[in-house]
Structure 1
């Protein structure tokens, strides 16, 4: 089973990559770096929270593991 710290680090790294991409998409879609950045930050905060919860739930499920 994975530690909480590992799950959190993975989630943060994944969301930093997503933050960069979402900022770019927001900038292209709106033409505004400020609006694009705000959209990216909100999306990242929600995504990070849900990803950590998702990872922790799956860490406790034994199905499909070769233990």
Structure 2
């Protein structure tokens, strides 16, 4: 993890990997729901394919924005021992 003035941040690479893994799960869910609602597997896969890229992009920027916000973070300081 990168350090910035005592604050921890995520590297962009980590955000990208999290984005891809989460979107894979989300897209499978969208395809299944679309197939149930529409009843056409080809159309469901098309919906899932479009949704895959748009939501991946949105999630990446959402994740990076939250990375700049300290809300809900706790800074852990090392314990100093007297010798």
Q: Same fold (TM over 0.5)?
A: yes
Task: Provide the C-alpha distance between the structure 2 equivalents of 1:64 and 1:24, rounded to a whole number of angstroms.
Answer: 34
State the alpha-carbon separation in 2 of the partners of residues 66 and 26 from structure 1: 40
Larger fraction in helix: 1
Structure 2: runs of 5+ lacking an equivalent: 1-8, 76-83
> What is the TM-score when the length of structure 2 is the normalising length?
0.74
- Structure with the higher strand share, 1 or 2: 2
- What's 1:50 paired with? 58
Which structure is richer in relative contact order (CA contacts within 8 A, separation 6 or more)? 1
Q: Which has the larger radius of gyration?
A: 2
The match for 1:33 is 41
Q: Gaps spanning 5+ residues in structure 1: where? A: none
